[in-house]
Structure 1
Amino acid sequence: MKSEEDQSHVDLRNGILYGTLKQIRIGDDTDPEVPKLLPVWVCSIRPKDSKLLISLLKQNCEDDASIKHLKRLTKIGDYIKAIICPFESEHERTEISNTLGNLQYENLEVINVPRNQANTKETTLKWSTIWPLTWKGNPNHQFLNSVIFDIEQERQMVNELLNRLEKVNNRQASVTMMAKEVNGTITIQCVAVNTGECYPSNHSVMRAIDSIAQRESKQRKQGITERGYLCTDMIVYTTHEPCVMCSMALVHSRILRCTYLKPVSPGGGMESSYFLGDLDGLNWKFQIWRWLGESELSKLDNLIDNARAEY
């Protein structure tokens, strides 16, 4: 387990943890010249009312993660302009007015502010001309420094994946395990195998999702459970990078993270092509990791052929 003080296992430059897990994500840390924008509700108040406004917001508005990179208040002339909350619809105006109560405010309106935290201090200053941002360092570096893995448990899961592949005894096979963390222990929920079939619905990832769906259907009939999404909180371990269809299925199933051993170019849907799982504009994102452990990759190479373009 990672110590909060010891960051020696983190390679920020290459996005690698413990020398074994490589983060897969879109592009580099270069910021666009013009940021994507987020509509928010703002109002203007007198400086003397700043503390009262902050108190009202703490009492009545959720601490929304989407605006944490923005400074809540900024001085404009003789007034303070304050972000109240992200904008969803014009119908919120009455509710916001009630939230502000007897506070003396003016110009309750919607403006656009930078949607994301900048990756560099220089870009933070540039985007702050639209609305002041806070600079707390590269957001992905913060993530890598904070993410926690029990690396020995991860290694056990990868070796279990390879053991299942070995038992199949087919050099065209791929294996996917769905797992879930319960009280700090990762437990396998299902195992699916593709013994070489090229039809996409026979890929091991699709078979694993189908297995979870079949179990969910049975439990619903028994009145045991009612999951909103099939694979919420599920951890996926798979021998090969999922293809584009499998990657999108994982997005729609809303998994927690995916770890695979072998990239599959050009058929893979993560690092090999579209970075599905880390792509803006889709309805979900999840962590993507590629396993770098030499002994495990060597065992995989001994168990499979390398000719297939997708799994």
Structure 2
Amino acid sequence: MKNRDQPEVDLKNGILYGTLKQIRLGTDVDPESPNLLQTWVCTIQPKNSKALISLLKQNYDDEPRIRHLKRLTKVGDHIKAIICPYEEESQRNEISNSLRSLEYDDLEVIKVPRDQASTRETTLKWSSIWPLTWKGNPNHQFLNTVKFDMTQERQMVNELLSYLEQTNNSDSSVTVMAKEVDNKIAIQTVALNKGERHPSQHSVMKAIDAIARNENNQRKDGKQERGYLCTDMIVYTTHEPCVMCSMALVHSRIVRCTYLKPVSPGGGMESSYYLGDLDGLNWKFQIWRWLGEPELSRLNEAVDNVRLEY
């Protein structure tokens, strides 16, 4: 998206432009022992280091899971080198074939730190397992580089609130599914919940269902099938999605979700499981809570005005 605003960053609280608060489980408080990742490692003579580095760049240089690790480390009179993450034992033959032009000894599987540490001190501690590179707090790097077009973001939030005001129901929630088209955020579908309690009737679930129905119609017309339903979708919703809705967004593989009102204890993001930023699931996405006072006041006023009518 072009012409994005330069972010005003509050690194301590994870807030951009004074308006978007990052919601994440995060790893800012580092454990004594890191989570570990299994990797394939070979042992070589130091004289073969240059040839191995060239081979790794040619065949194994596009793996983001090991970019925070130093690829080579000296152990005694030998060099140990990380080839790639371990997936299954059948990789052994493939890796052996790729190394056949190189003199190497053992090809083994070892465990190394899975994540980049968030402090220099923790980097040094974890490097006793395998050497890591320190490039600064990874989340701070993200916050310093991510940018939003705040004019468009406010427009989307205010359109969301306009739909809410039209429901005239104090228990309503609204979800908008959008995506970037030619550097503009374009609404793809709008879904309303007028107080229905069952999760399948929540506005997030209705929005995903609308995208699915549209996809089904596209397939009937013989148009190219999408992969996951919402891989390029941006979600705006008045209320923090519940656990079921949050998991549905994970499985739909959205880009990011912005909501205005946290829902405790029923929310599935900041109120409980941080779904969307939880390790071990098959997808992660950005989560933001809107802090803009004019929009939050408008949300509260819409709810209060409806209640006054009863």
TM-score band (shorter)? over 0.9
Q: Are 1:172 and 1:305, in contact at CA under 8 Å, matched by a contact in 2?
A: no
2:308 maps to what in 1? none
Q: Displacement, 1:201?
A: 1.1
Which residue type is aligned with residue 53 of structure 1? L
Q: Displacement, 1:305?
A: 4.9
Deviations 1:139-175 (A, max 9, x none): 1111111112111111111111111112222222111
1:231 maps to what in 2? 230
Instruction: Give distance in 2, aligned partners of 1:223 and 1:99.
Output: 42
Instruction: Give distance in 1, aligned partners of 2:94 and 2:199.
Output: 49
Aligned residues: 305
Q: Displacement, 1:114?
A: 0.6
Q: Are 2:160 and 2:237, in contact at CA under 8 Å, matched by a contact in 1?
A: yes
Which residue type is aligned with residue 231 of structure 2? T
1:72 maps to what in 2? 71
1:153 maps to what in 2? 152
Instruction: Give distance in 2, aligned partners of 1:275 and 1:118.
Output: 20
Deviations 1:268-307 (A, max 9, x none): 111111111111122211110000011011101011159x
2:241 maps to what in 1? 242
Which residue type is aligned with residue 136 of structure 1? K
**Range that drifts further, 163-172 or 253-262:** 163-172
SS of match in other structure, 2:105 = strand
Which residue type is aligned with residue 21 of structure 1? L
Q: Displacement, 1:27?
A: 5.6
Q: Displacement, 1:77?
A: 1.2
Q: Displacement, 1:2?
A: 4.9
SS of match in other structure, 1:80 = strand
Instruction: Give distance in 2, aligned partners of 1:90 and 1:158.
Output: 49
Q: Are 1:238 and 1:259, in contact at CA under 8 Å, matched by a contact in 2?
A: yes
Instruction: Give distance in 2, aligned partners of 1:197 and 1:87.
Output: 46
1:220 maps to what in 2? 219
Instruction: Give distance in 1, aligned partners of 2:210 and 2:263.
Output: 24
How do 1:34-45 and structure 2 match up within 5 A? 34-45=33-44
TM-align CA RMSD:
1.8
1:277 maps to what in 2? 276
**Range that drifts further, 251-260 or 19-28:** 19-28
Q: Displacement, 1:184?
A: 1.6
Instruction: Give distance in 2, aligned partners of 1:248 and 1:294.
Output: 29
Q: Are 1:241 and 1:270, in contact at CA under 8 Å, matched by a contact in 2?
A: yes
Instruction: Give distance in 1, aligned partners of 2:73 and 2:182.
Output: 43
Deviations 1:85-131 (A, max 9, x none): 11111111121122123211111111110111111111111110000
**Range that drifts further, 251-260 or 22-31:** 22-31
Instruction: Give distance in 2, aligned partners of 1:254 and 1:198.
Output: 25
SS of match in other structure, 1:105 = coil
1:309 maps to what in 2? none
Identity %: 73
**TM-score, structure 1 as length reference:** 0.94
Q: Are 1:176 and 1:205, in contact at CA under 8 Å, matched by a contact in 2?
A: yes
SS of match in other structure, 2:30 = coil
Q: Displacement, 1:183?
A: 2.6
Whether 1:209 and 2:204 are equivalent positions in the alignment is no
1:130 maps to what in 2? 129
Q: Given the superposition, is the C-alpha separation of residues 84 and 273 from structure 1 closer, same or farther in structure 2, using an over 3 Å criterion?
A: same
Q: Are 2:26 and 2:277, in contact at CA under 8 Å, matched by a contact in 1?
A: no
2:167 maps to what in 1? 168
Q: Are 1:161 and 1:176, in contact at CA under 8 Å, matched by a contact in 2?
A: yes
1:191 maps to what in 2? 190
Structure 2 unmatched ranges of 5 or more: 306-310
**Range that drifts further, 161-170 or 105-114:** 161-170
